[in-house]
């Protein structure tokens, strides 16, 4: 099994699926507000790009975050 197979997926409404692979460097460091600023940053950036994201999930982790993300977009913008 390769660890790199695990990635965060952002599913766009429609057929296209976007996501990025996780790396150790993503999980480095933390400050008083968030545990993993790098990773959080990437997620926020991704959610900004995909304006109508409905699902955000970790591969092999189906349906974990099933929320309507319209409001996320508002916040992210």
Partner 1 sequence: MKEFNCRDSALSLTGSAGKLVAEVLHIAHINEIAACAYATRKMLPDVKTIIEMGGEDSKYIILQDNAIKDFSMNSVCAAGTGSFLDQQAERMRLTIEQFSELAAKNSRPARIAGRCSVFAKSDMIHLQQIATPVEDIVAGLCFAVARNFKGTIVKGRPSVPEVSFQGGVALNVGMVRAFKEVFGFDNLIVPERCALMGAIGAALKDMDSGNLYKNVAIEALHTYIGSLKRFEKGRPPLVQEGDEFYQRHINERSKVSLNPLHQVHAGDNGSSAKIKAYMGVDIGSISTNLAVIDEDGNLLARKYLMTASRPIEAVMTGLRQIGEEAGDDIQIMGVGTTGSGRYMIADLIGADIVKNEITAQAAGALSIDKSVDTIFEIGGQDSKYIAIEDGVIVDFEMNKACAAGTGSFLEEQAEKLNISIKEEFARFSLCSTSPCSLGERCTVFMENSLMANLQKGAERQDVLAGLAYSIVENYINRVVAGKRIGKNIFFQGGTAYNKAVVAAFEKFTGRRIIVPPNHDVTGAIGMALIVRDQQREAEEKVSAFKGFDIINRSIDITSFECKACSNLCEINRVSLQGEKGHLFYGGRCERYDIKRDNSHGIEDLFVFREELLRSYYKPDMAKGAGPVIGIPYIFLFHEYLPLWCTLLYELGFSVVLSPKTNRQVVNLGTETVLSESCFPVKVAHGHVRYLMQTGVNTVFLPSFINVNNGGDDFSKGSPCPYTQTIPYLAKAAFRELEVIRPIVDLTRGDGFLISEIQNSFSSYRLSSSKIKGALKKAKAAQEEFFVKLRQKGRSVVDSLTERTIVIVGRAYNSFDPGVNLQIPQKLATIRVASIPMDMLPTEGIDIKDRWRDMYWRSGQKIIRAARYIKSNPLLYPIYIGNFNCGPDSFILKFFREELGDKPFLHLEIDEHSADAGAITRCEAFLDSIENRRLNQPVTTVRSAKPSNSRRSLAETTVYIPLMSDHSYALAAALQHCGVSSEVLPKTDAEALSLGKKHLSGKECYPCVVTTGDVIKKATSNGFDAEKSVFFMPGGTGPCRFGQYNVLQRLILDKLGLQDVKIFSPVQDISFYKDLGTVGKDFFARTWQGIVAIELLIKCLHETRPHERQQGQAKEIYDRYLQLLYNTLIGNNGSIEGVLSQMRKDFEAIPKNSDKKPVIGVIGEIFVRSNSFSNENIIDKIESHGAKVWLAPMEEWIFYVNYIAFKHALIKRDYSAIMDSFVKRVYKKNIEMRYHRYFKGFLQTLHEPDTRDIAAKAAPYVDESFEGETILSIGKTIDLIEHGVAGIVNVMPFGCMPGTIVTALLRSISRDYGVPCISVPYDGTESNMTALQLDAFIEQAKSRA
- Report the candidate in 48, 77, 47, 53 with the shortest Cα–Cα distance to residue 66: 53
Taking the C-alpha atoms of residue 74 and residue 56, their distance in angstroms, rounded to an integer, is: 16
8 lies in the binding site for partner 1 (CB under 8 A):
yes
Q: Measured from the CB of residue 13, what is the shortest distance to partner 1 in angstroms?
A: 19
Among 44, 49, 52, 70, binds partner 1 (CB under 8 A): 44
Q: How far is the C-alpha of 30 from the C-alpha of 41, rounded, in Å?
A: 12
Residues that bind partner 1 (CB under 8 A): 1, 3, 6, 8, 22, 27-36, 39-40, 43-44, 47, 56, 58, 60-61, 64-65, 67, 71-72, 75-76
């Amino acid at each position: 099994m390769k660890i790199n197979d695990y990635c965060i997926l952002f599913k766009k409404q429609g057929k296209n699926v976007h996501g990025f692979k996780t790396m150790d460097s993503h999980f480095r460091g933390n400050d008083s507000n968030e545990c993993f600023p790098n990773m959080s940053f990437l997620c926020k950036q991704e959610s900004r790009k995909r304006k109508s994201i409905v699902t955000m999930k970790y591969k092999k982790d189906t349906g974990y975050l099933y929320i309507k993300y319209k409001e996320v977009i508002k916040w992210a913008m």
